[in-house]
Structure 1
Amino acid sequence: MLKVGIFGATGYAGQQLVWLLMNHKFSQIEFMASNTYAGKEFSEIYPNFKNRLDSKLISIEEAKDKIKDIDVLFLALPHGKSADLVKLSVENSVKVIDLGADFRLTNPEDFLYWYKMKFNYPELIKDSIYSLPELKSKEDIKNAKIIANPGCYATASLLALAPLVKNKLIDLNSIVIDAKSGVSGAGRSLKVGSLFSECNESIKAYSVGNHRHTAEIEQELSLLENEKITTLFTPHLVPMNRGILAVSYANLDTSKSLQEIYEIYKDFYKSSYFVRILDSLPETRFVKGSNFCDIGIKIDTRTNKIIVISAIDNLVKGAAGQAIQNMNISFDLDEFQGITTLGINI
């Protein structure tokens, strides 16, 4: 039984993590930390847990003393808040899975550029891995002391584009990603832009040309091709609670048919339980509440462009579910343990 600690348990990703871990046969939550709600019962914040999880939340400072007693630490904190806790975990030989951004970029200068913050522990990068499980070696994940859990937009985009890049099927200078996310992607803290009256009956683009997940997408695509790749990525906010639909475009650099490209995708993901290659077009409602990524493909012969559509739940495959997937791999458990739930649909 793995002893688990969670920092940031009351955010949207944190509570989703708690929900999934409660259905995991081989994990036991030892503590949940939240400075905002320290001293309150978890079920007071999320009443759906009443009589199932009434444990009291503790402060971040109090939880630091308990890190040495666990096997794995999950961090569901804003960027800039994880690095010190990661260092403490490594010093105590505790595996840490960071759902935040602090260890996602392997170049500290990139972190400074995109997040406007200095990265304080460059010496720890060698102990970390950016772990989108379908694109990384299982042994590398097991051996890493620090797992940087990918961002939600990056997860949907990378899974859609990786087979094209790896198999040299597209013009690498032509990649455009148009993605749309539910409001939970903005987190649980109060923001005017996330208020019901601001979001409902509207759709808007944001962080145009400078969204931070762009750095992850470009970093990981560049590793696949072993050359610098840049992308044009535009996210949008849509009036739904959860889900991401990413539509990726690129110029084809091959004469392969749509059926041939489908076969390449199916072969690429043949060992990936959570990636489903569809003959139809994905919808967010079919992955809602699940750890699956659905992918559909079209070719526009008139413009010689390929269009890859991917759908995920931003709080599960884009956050908590993928974190548990990484934990399962790290501790040699079945990769799908505790995260096999199908999409809710309606």
Structure 2
Amino acid sequence: MQKVKVAVLGGSGYTAVELIKLLLRHPGAEIAAVTSRQAEHVADLHPSLLGRLDLQCEPFDPDALKAKGVQVAFGCLPHGTSMESIPPLLDRGIRVIDLSADYRLRDATVYQEWYKETHHDAENLAHAVYGLPEVYGDTLAGARLIANPGCYPQTAILGLAPLVANKLIELSGIVIDSKSGVSGAGRTPKLTTHFPECNESVSAYSVGTHRHTPEIEQALGDIAGAAVSVIFTPHLMPMDRGIFSTIYATPTKPVSEAELTALYRGYFAGKPFVRVRTAPPATKDTTGTNFLDVCVKVVRGKVLVLAAEDNLIRGASGVAVQNFNRVFGFPETTGLL
């Protein structure tokens, strides 16, 4: 098997180290470069990689990456920074799987509204493919630029997809109550994620203003073929990793749990990383894996969807590798099981 040379941009964070670990065990990937503003050996940034990857972090230089034969770059950069770094890579024929939010929203005005900054790369935004394989898989093969989905949105989109696709719930007033481990906030120190602040405490944040809201609505609208509106509220939990979402929706006709479970199993048949369960999942069931576990219930006339994933693997790095497999024609599970 001929290996694809890859680069990891922004190698100092949690997402990057998880991605590197996955790529190291991928038989079709060769890590040719890791970029970071911190000019250190990769193992100094991430001691868990000691003896596994002998690379020095280097400054971001598109020409240098091209000279190394890099064919695809995984962008683990903050939003706002990605849109500045990605165009020169694409100009040099390097494909990009971007883990930031810069290319997820198709409308630049919506991006500006929610992210409070102007999008500077409308040209590439126009042809970016949203990288949720279970929904957009047919458009991923050969894509030049993939916008990796957000962590929270995956539980909401995949949790609701069978229902909105079949018009079994009202498309407005959907309530998404989500909880995330602290690693979802990234590795950069912040007051709210300081141990004495977040340990033994649960708190809601970005109530009514969280940037994943339009991303969820955009994808669900694609699936439904009509506008979808949600109320999304995230919460910070005192645990390292994991996301759990409880979703409440109003059915358009009487439905039973058995019917809905069968619907979900049919919808996700052949999609190896979505596991449909009859009992509610727990975050520990998915820790360290690329699985998204989902369960659907009917309670007092409402449809409840319960979904869990590992925010760093399925929520970011794992689905990025899943997208990589789709782009380069590897079996979708390669390096992920």
**Conserved 8 A contact 2:198-2:238:** yes
1:335 & 1:65 partners in 2: Cα distance? Answer: 30
Could you tell me which of 315, 320, 327 is aligned with 2:317? Answer: 320
Superposition deviation, residue 174 in structure 1? 2.4
Matched to 1:165, the amino acid is V
Could you tell me which of 22, 25, 50 is aligned with 1:23? Answer: 25
Superposition deviation, residue 310 in structure 1? 0.4
Q: Which moved more, 1:222-231 or 1:199-208?
A: 222-231
Superposition deviation, residue 224 in structure 1? 1.3
Q: What secondary structure is seen at the aligned counterpart in 2 of 1:20? A: helix
2:187 & 2:27 partners in 1: Cα distance? Answer: 28
Residue 253 of structure 2 corresponds to 254
Matched to 1:309, the amino acid is L
1:241 & 1:271 partners in 2: Cα distance? Answer: 31
| Structure 2 CA distance for partners of 1:80 and 1:299, relative to 1, 3 Å | same
Residue 2 of structure 1 corresponds to 4
**Conserved 8 A contact 2:62-2:89:** no
| Structure 2 CA distance for partners of 1:64 and 1:80, relative to 1, 3 Å | farther
Matched to 1:198, the amino acid is E
1:254 & 1:272 partners in 2: Cα distance? Answer: 27
Matched to 1:104, the amino acid is R
**Conserved 8 A contact 2:75-2:99:** yes
Q: What secondary structure is seen at the aligned counterpart in 2 of 1:252? A: coil
Matched to 2:332, the amino acid is E
Aligned: 1:233 with 2:232: yes
Aligned CA RMSD, in angstroms, stands at: 1.1
Residue 145 of structure 1 corresponds to 144
1:135 & 1:4 partners in 2: Cα distance? Answer: 25
| Structure 2 CA distance for partners of 1:143 and 1:54, relative to 1, 3 Å | closer
Aligned: 1:244 with 2:243: yes
Superposition deviation, residue 137 in structure 1? 3.4
| Structure 2 CA distance for partners of 1:64 and 1:76, relative to 1, 3 Å | farther
| Structure 2 CA distance for partners of 1:211 and 1:67, relative to 1, 3 Å | farther
1:319 & 1:176 partners in 2: Cα distance? Answer: 23
1:64 & 1:312 partners in 2: Cα distance? Answer: 37
Residue 12 of structure 1 corresponds to 14
Aligned: 1:70 with 2:70: yes
**Conserved 8 A contact 1:67-1:73:** no
Superposition deviation, residue 279 in structure 1? 1.2
Could you tell me which of 334, 337, 340 is aligned with 2:331? Answer: 334
1:264 & 1:103 partners in 2: Cα distance? Answer: 31
Q: Which moved more, 1:207-216 or 1:121-130?
A: 121-130
1:84 & 1:67 partners in 2: Cα distance? Answer: 17
Superposition deviation, residue 275 in structure 1? 0.2
**Conserved 8 A contact 2:137-2:326:** no
Aligned: 1:43 with 2:40: no
After superposition, the C-alpha distances for 1:118-155 in whole angstroms (9 at most, x for unaligned) are: 111112123211111001132x1013210000000001
| Structure 2 CA distance for partners of 1:67 and 1:197, relative to 1, 3 Å | farther
After superposition, the C-alpha distances for 1:59-94 in whole angstroms (9 at most, x for unaligned) are: 22x465314521110000110011122211211111
Runs of 4+ aligned structure 1 residues displaced above 4 Å come to none
Residue 89 of structure 1 corresponds to 89
| Structure 2 CA distance for partners of 1:187 and 1:64, relative to 1, 3 Å | farther
Residue 303 of structure 2 corresponds to 306
2:319 & 2:291 partners in 1: Cα distance? Answer: 10
Residue 133 of structure 2 corresponds to 133
After superposition, the C-alpha distances for 1:213-238 in whole angstroms (9 at most, x for unaligned) are: 11100111111122221100000000
**Conserved 8 A contact 2:142-2:328:** no
Q: What secondary structure is seen at the aligned counterpart in 1 of 2:6? A: strand
Superposition deviation, residue 256 in structure 1? 2.3
Matched to 2:200, the amino acid is E
| Structure 2 CA distance for partners of 1:15 and 1:63, relative to 1, 3 Å | farther
1:46 & 1:225 partners in 2: Cα distance? Answer: 42
Residue 343 of structure 1 corresponds to none
Residue 215 of structure 1 corresponds to 214
Which runs of 5 or more residues in structure 2 are unaligned? none
Matched to 1:15, the amino acid is V
Residue 34 of structure 2 corresponds to 32
**Conserved 8 A contact 2:153-2:215:** yes
**Conserved 8 A contact 2:62-2:88:** no
After superposition, the C-alpha distances for 1:21-52 in whole angstroms (9 at most, x for unaligned) are: 111011000000110x21x1111121111122
1:167 & 1:231 partners in 2: Cα distance? Answer: 17
When normalised by structure 1's length, the TM-score is 0.94
Residue 159 of structure 1 corresponds to 158
**Conserved 8 A contact 1:156-1:246:** yes
**Conserved 8 A contact 2:148-2:316:** yes
Superposition deviation, residue 285 in structure 1? 0.2
1:121 & 1:81 partners in 2: Cα distance? Answer: 11
Which runs of 5 or more residues in structure 1 are unaligned? 341-346
